[in-house]
Each structure stands twice: as structure tokens, then as C-alpha cells.
Amino acid sequence: MTVGGRGSRIFVGMSVAIAVLAGCGPSEGLSLDQPGHKDSQGDDTGKSHGTNPLDNPDGVEPGLARITSDKDRADARDLIDKVTTKGRGPKTGYDRDEFGYAWADNADDVPLAHNGCDTRNDLLKRDGAEVKYRSGSDCVVVSMTLYDPYTGDTIEWRKEDASEVQIDHVMPLSYDWQMGASRWSDAERKRIANDPLNLLPVDGSANSAKGDSGPASWLPPAKGIRCSYAVRFAQVSLKYDLPVTAADKETMLDQCA
């Protein structure tokens, strides 16, 4: 999808990423401020964080920001409406290994690949603040601060508690398998498994609760991020020409109403 008129916001997202990776605090008015308090529904009532997915069609900018303006919500619905639908196929034959070994750096035709750093660490670097690396490495992340878009929590992550932050496949791999990826080449399956567009570091318990659910069965607990999540799900669906179920598409549209 080509999105016109958003160049200034992409520049802001890049500026934030540079500031974060340099260990600097965010500039005044940018979008990586500390989160506000959360209401009883788990919504972060502070400022948005990360990058608007409409401004991030390649998934290389950090995080996932809320979609709030009427125009952006209309653009989000237009995007989701392009997604095709079909019934979910059988899971027969699915195995995680069908998508290559986890966090392969050698996937072709995706951003961040072939840089000498595995996909998981690439994503931690992309979305983390105050990132620290293993001694002698500019790749292996050992600690960081993560603003989790799914829960609205700020996580002070350390490698010794690695599972506290998990990398979510926004469009789950077994879902991909059931919607057509079972017929793909090994290279194409490795691509979607390591594409930063389809990957978000998030709270581990939220990711475990999601499993391989589509949006009709699971949405992020923080309600304010759900339209952005639906957009990201649609972006992956469209990039890889994978349909979603009719119930999932209806749910996705509802989040941006």
C-alpha cells in the first residue's frame, strides 16, 4: 500500500528510533513518552507510543502506535476492506519447523535480514529503549525497556527472564498455514516468519494467551491499540496474499469504526 502525505510522520518515527537506540530520551512532543495510568479495561490513557502502522508499511519503524484521527480510521477501514476472506483450512501437517528454524537471519527479501544478527534481537533493538548489549557484541540484547502495545505496560526486560518478552507473529504461523502457506515454498514460509512487518515484541503472557487465534477470537487487552493491530494484521495479509476468515475481517473492521 502506498500512503501519500505522511512523510513528516515517517520522519518523526525515524527520529524517535534514532533517539531511542542512541540511549537518549525522546524529544518533546514525540511519541515515546512514559505511559499514563491505565483504566479498568487495561487501556493506557497516556500518549501513544511507537509508529502508526499506516506510516510503517514495511515494519521497520519501532512499535505500534494508536490510530486516533477520523481520517486515519477511515484509511484503516479502506485497507482492511481489501483483505479477501475464506474458511480456515485444516492444520494437518503444520509444524513450526515448516517455517524454517526460529529467527533465521538468512530469510530473503525482508528488511533487517542478512545483517549478522538474528531476527529476535533485531526486533528487540527496533522496539526497545535503553538497549544494552552483551559485552563485545552489538547484536545480543541483554536488557531494555519495552513499551508493550498489547497491554499498555512498560516492561523492564532482562535476558535472564527472556520469556517475559516474546516476539509475536501478528498473523500467526499456523493461521498462515491454514490460509494457504501450506502450499508455499520453504523460502516463502521463512520470509513471513522473519518479516518485521509480522513481528512485535510483546508481553509474554499476552502472546501465550493469543496462541494462533485470529482477531475474532483474540484482540490485545489494551482496547486503544486494537485498530492498529487490525491494520497490521491486514498489512501482512495483503503483502502475502493470504485471506482471513469472514469473522476475522468483520472484527478487524469493527475495531476501526
Provide the pLDDT for residue 81.
98
DSSP per residue, 134-146: -TT-SS-EEEEEE
What pLDDT is recorded for position 39? 38
If you count them, how many residues does the chain have?
A: 257
Distance between CA 192 and CA 199 in Å, rounded?
A: 9
At residue 198, the 3 state secondary structure works out as helix
Q: How many CB atoms lie within 10 A of CB 29?
A: 8
Beta strand segments in the chain, E: 129-133, 141-147, 154-158, 165-169, 199-203
Cell of 235: 498489512
Exposed e or buried b for every residue in 161-190, given b needs 16+ CB within 10 A? eeebbbbbbbbbbbbbbbbebbebeeebbb
Task: Please give the model's pTM, rounded to 2 decimal places.
Answer: 0.82
Strands (DSSP E) found in 74-128: none
CA distance 89 to 92: 9
8 A C-beta contact, residue 13 and residue 51: yes
Q: Give the CA distances from residue 108 to residues 86, 95, 112, 113, 118, in Å, rounded to whole numbers and listed in that order.
A: 28, 21, 10, 7, 13
Beta bridge pairs of residue 38: 44
Backbone angles phi, psi at 4, to 5 degrees: -85, 155
pLDDT at 28: 30
Q: Phi then psi for 231, rounded to 5 degrees?
A: -65, -45
**pLDDT for res 48:** 59
User: What is the predicted pLDDT for the residue at 49?
Assistant: 82
**Is-contact 50 7, C-beta < 8 A?**
no
Q: Are 151 and 219 in contact (CB under 8 A)?
A: no
Q: What is the mean pLDDT of each run of 10 residues along the chain (257 residues)?
A: 42 40 34 36 55 98 97 98 97 97 96 97 97 96 98 97 97 98 98 98 98 98 98 98 98 98
Angle at 108 between CA 144 and CA 3, to 5 degrees: 75
